[in-house]
Amino acid sequence: MPRTKKKNGRGGQHGNVQPFSDEDASIETLSHCSSFSDVTSVADEGGEASEDTAQEDFQYKLKGFIDSTVDKSAKTRQGALDGLKTAMATRILYEFISERRMTITDSIERCLKKGKGEEQRAAASLACLLCIQLGSGIESEEVLKTLKPIFKNILADGSANIQARQAVSTYLFSHDHCCFLVDGTCPSISPQTSQLYTNALLSWALLLTICTASQLKDILRKYLPKLPRLLESEDVNMRIAAGETIALLFELARDMDTFDDWDELCDKLNALATDCNKHRAKTDKRKQRSVFRDVLKAVEEGDFQSETIRFGTERMTIDSWVRKRTYDAFREFVGSGMNYHLQANEFIRDVFELGPPILVDSATMKAMKISRFERHLHNSAAFKARTKARSKFRDKRVDVGEF
């Protein structure tokens, strides 16, 4: 933001504040900041702004967002929350945020209490990103201590906005909203309420990844026999969440003999993996069949279809359901910034046992950019060649038809 606009930037005067656009997000994801920054590329590309000036302008924009979270306009407050969310998803801002942690937490608390719908959703998501930025220490614990009672109230309030409750259920697991696991039912509910239950189930599954052996044994005995009933849900996302949670439990319980209806479960999973129900959307069926083929292998053979994630000069293998659930949970909040956080966020790197962040010098970054450019040229040439070949083939088919 240009310096000349500072006179409009205090308190509630940020009436025209705008969140980062998708284009801003993609640029920030590629741009390494803090100690991982390659801001000198601005100068290399002919820009006149120095690294310090660019950083100051960016921080000034963030301060404007923070100020605007207390604006009288709900639209302005939501725009400010979304702007902070995008910044935290695409940059490492620990020092800046740590100095303003209490202010940001107060803003989130105020928006959760006084806001409605989308504003509450944005505030709840920002709370998750704030903790991801602060890491696993006392600072995150204090944020949770402050916000947890408000989250619980929203989650328990049946009259509260459903989008707000969905967002909160992603952040905070509640046994009350996994009641369908307790009684083993699969209620017929609205799609929005189903998403609330799905989020609660996935949050519960995430907690399973850090349970002790004794806790896990009790959970398996109590819940594993009930989970298969959720596979009958009308909501494809609920069926998939239930299937992945079952696969996760079987992985965690590999050495525990705690399930008797194994054959019946495998029959259900196989039916979903080969589902040809005409009343279901084709996209839902494709998505479902792909997931349940993997779930069936996990239950029958203890197998997992591994996936390699590349980020910067590194790579990480998702080689278990535990690792997948953890990765998906982080990706839910940081979105397109996930690869950047894997590269630079010490907390996330610690969770995935990646070690300290690796510094990448400018020469290496330039080499990587050249490689990407060369790949782009190669792909463009290949695309043109395919198009040309297909055109000739279509011409021949026309000739045959006319003959």
Dump the DSSP string for 54-122. Answer: HHHHHHHHHHHHHHHTT-S-HHHHHHHHHHHHHHHHHS--HHHHHHTHHHHHHHHHHHHHH--THHHHH
- Going 138 to 143 to 149 to 154, the CA torsion angle's sign is negative
Q: How far apart are CA 114 and CA 352, in angstroms?
A: 37
The predicted-structure confidence for 284-319, as pLDDT tens digits, reads as follows 888 999 999 999 999 999 889 999 999 988 999 999
pLDDT band at 208; cut points 50, 70, 90: very high
Task: Evaluate if residue 41 carries a pLDDT over 80.
Answer: no
* Block residue for tokens 């799609």: 191
Nearest Cα neighbor of 164 from 119, 110, 132, 197 is 119
Say what the pLDDT of residue 81 is: 96
> Model pTM?
0.76
Task: Evaluate if residue 112 carries a pLDDT over 80.
Answer: yes
Say what the pLDDT of residue 133 is: 96
What percentage of the chain reaches a pLDDT higher than 70? 72
Q: How far apart are CA 97 and CA 100, in angstroms?
A: 5
pLDDT band at 258; cut points 50, 70, 90: low
Count of CB atoms situated within 10 Å of the CB of 151 = 21
Summarize the confidence of residues 219-225 as an average pLDDT.
87
Could you state, in order of their start, the residue ranges of all structural domains in the chain? 56-172
Q: How far apart are CA 32 and CA 29, in angstroms?
A: 7
Say what the pLDDT of residue 398 is: 43
CATH classification code of 56-172: 1.25.40
The predicted-structure confidence for 325-350, as pLDDT tens digits, reads as follows 999 999 999 999 999 999 999 999 99
Say what the pLDDT of residue 9 is: 40
Task: Evaluate if residue 12 carries a pLDDT over 50.
Answer: no
Greater model confidence, 252 or 364: 252
Say what the pLDDT of residue 335 is: 93
Greater model confidence, 208 or 402: 208
Eight-class DSSP state of 356 = S
Task: Evaluate if residue 6 carries a pLDDT over 50.
Answer: no
DSSP H/E element including 308: strand 307-311
Six token digits for residue 186: 């699969």
Say what the pLDDT of residue 276 is: 80
CA dihedral 277, 279, 281, 286 (to 10 degrees): 0
Summarize the confidence of residues 340-365 as an average pLDDT.
85
pLDDT band at 386; cut points 50, 70, 90: low
Task: Evaluate if residue 22 carries a pLDDT over 50.
Answer: no
pLDDT band at 367; cut points 50, 70, 90: low
pLDDT band at 158; cut points 50, 70, 90: confident
Greater model confidence, 282 or 64: 64
What percentage of the chain reaches a pLDDT higher than 90? 47
Say what the pLDDT of residue 282 is: 83
Summarize the confidence of residues 16-39 as an average pLDDT.
40
Count of CB atoms situated within 10 Å of the CB of 318 = 19
The predicted-structure confidence for 46-94, as pLDDT tens digits, reads as follows 444 577 788 889 999 999 999 999 999 999 999 999 999 999 999 999 9
Mean pLDDT score of the chain: 80
Dump the DSSP string for 120-188. Answer: HHHHHHHHHHHHHHH-SSHHHHHHHHHHHHHHHHHHH-TTS-HHHHHHHHHHS--GGGGHHHHH-----
pLDDT band at 372; cut points 50, 70, 90: low
Say what the pLDDT of residue 21 is: 45
Say what the pLDDT of residue 186 is: 58
Residues counted in the chain: 403
Nearest Cα neighbor of 353 from 338, 361, 342, 369 is 342
